[in-house]
Amino acid sequence: MGVAGAAVLAVDAGNSKTDAALIGADGTVLGTGRSGGFQPPRVGVEAAVDVLGQAVAEAAEAAGLPGLRPGAPYAARVSACLANADLPVEERRLADALSARGWGAATEVRNDTFAILRAGLAGTGLPRGVAVVCGAGINCVGMLPDGRTARFPALGSISGDWGGGGGLAEEALWWAARAWDGRGGPTELASALPGHFALASMAELIEALHLGTLDRRRVHELVPVLFAVAAAGDPVASAIVERQATEVVAMASVALSRLGLLEEEAPVVLGGSVLAAGHPQLNGRVEELLAERAPRARVSVVTAPPVLGAALLGLDALGAAPEAHEKLRAHFG
């Protein structure tokens, strides 16, 4: 290791932001950094890794470490959990790209859902359990202490996925549009969705989205509106929430089954902005349905930052003492 005391460089990169943290062998957080989102499909791998580099450089500066020199990496191990690393082949390619930067003596890249799983697992032993992330999209992974994993491609409709914030907003718009033009049944979504943007009707909302006078990236704002309409008893909105709960449970139960945990006591961690929001209608239904499929599963919601999970995975790989895990977890609350 080129720099004394830097055991792990942890990186958690989502579509909107990147967090980096340098961790000492005893679990001390030496420095942290933040930069923009990690989007290799849009900007290319090298440009996307440059964005990671901004967070890494900020973490190194905060830790008081000198600039990177040949043969002197920041840490013994880079543990990076990255969005858009959806397939094992993508993980390998990104690991090669990160290794070329020389940030660590060894580099491991995983999909960012693994960070949520590790952050949400209590205790200091090797990870055992399943996580479902429902944020902008939806994904699920599971791990066993022997290294076996369960995962899904999570590439959207082409890999059989449905839901997440983007999917929920689009579904709400679909039903609201059909209620407005008469092809579907009535729903309060037809007034609540345009009302959120101070528009008078679905006709105005559809036009605004089509012509670009309303930034389509703001569609995600409709997810809380959907949940509010559902909570008020609207049948259409409630059916959308029910479908999301069913999808979460389907992914979790399949992952548990693949790992031989369906009949065993095992943690199921829920994460991502949609599940972390704690909507009773969604999370409560997830717990009810999962109790039918996996009666011994223990459901929890993780609110710790995912970079904690990336750092814990790095300490796991280095065989760090339990006290180091505990110290690191205490730092991130």
| DSSP states of 178-236 | HHHHTSS---THHHHHHHHTT-SSHHHHHHHHHHTSS-GGGGGGHHHHHHHHHHTT-HH
The pLDDT score that the predictor gives to residue 71 is 63
Q: Are strands 266-271 and 149-151 parallel, antiparallel or unpaired?
A: unpaired
- Burial class, 254, CB count within 10 angstroms (exposed 0-12 / middle 13-18 / buried 19+): middle
Longest CA span, the chain: 68
For 174-190, what is the mean pLDDT? Answer: 98
- What pLDDT does 66 receive? 77
Q: How far apart are CA 124 and CA 245, in angstroms?
A: 30
How would you classify the pairing of strands 8-13 and 138-143? Answer: unpaired
Tens of pLDDT along 226-254?
A: 999 999 999 999 999 999 999 999 999 99
pLDDT band at 323 (very low <50, low <70, confident <90, very high): very high
Look at the block and give the residue holding tokens 């909570």: 231
Contact 164, 137 (CB under 8 A): yes
* Partners of 90 in beta bridges: none
Q: What is the mean pLDDT of residues 212-230?
A: 97
- Say how far apart CA 240 and CA 235 lie, in whole Å: 9
State mean pLDDT over 268-281: 95
* Average pLDDT, rounded, for the chain: 94
Which candidate, 307, 303, 323, places its Cα nearest to that of 10? 307
- Calculate what percentage of the chain has a pLDDT beyond 70: 97
Q: How many helices (H) and strands (E) does the chain have?
A: 13, 10
Mean pLDDT of 128-150: 95
Mean pLDDT of 115-144: 92
The whole-number average pLDDT for the span 64-68 is 80
Return the pLDDT at 333.
81
How much is the average pLDDT of 137-152? 95
How far apart are alpha carbons 176 and 181 in whole angstroms?
9
Residue 183, pLDDT above cutoff 70: yes
Can you name the residues that pair with 172 across neighbouring β-strands? none
What is residue 70's predicted lDDT score, i.e. its pLDDT?
67
pLDDT digits (tens, 9 = 90+) for 4-19: 458 999 999 998 899 9
Whether residue 130 is predicted with pLDDT greater than 90 in this model: the reply is yes
Residues 6+ apart with CB under 8 A from 229: 187, 188, 189, 192, 237
Three-class DSSP category at 324:
helix
Provide the token pair at 78.
């880079």
Cα-flanking dihedrals φ and ψ of residue 81, to 5°?
A: -115, 115
Fill in the DSSP letter of residue 246: H
Tokens of 54: 């901004």
Indicate whether this model's pTM tops 0.85: yes
Question: Looking at residue 2, what is its pLDDT?
Answer: 42
Q: Which residues, at least 6 apart from 52, have a Cβ–Cβ distance to it below 8 Å?
A: 11, 13, 18, 20, 35, 38, 80, 98
Residue 207 has pLDDT above 90, yes or no: yes
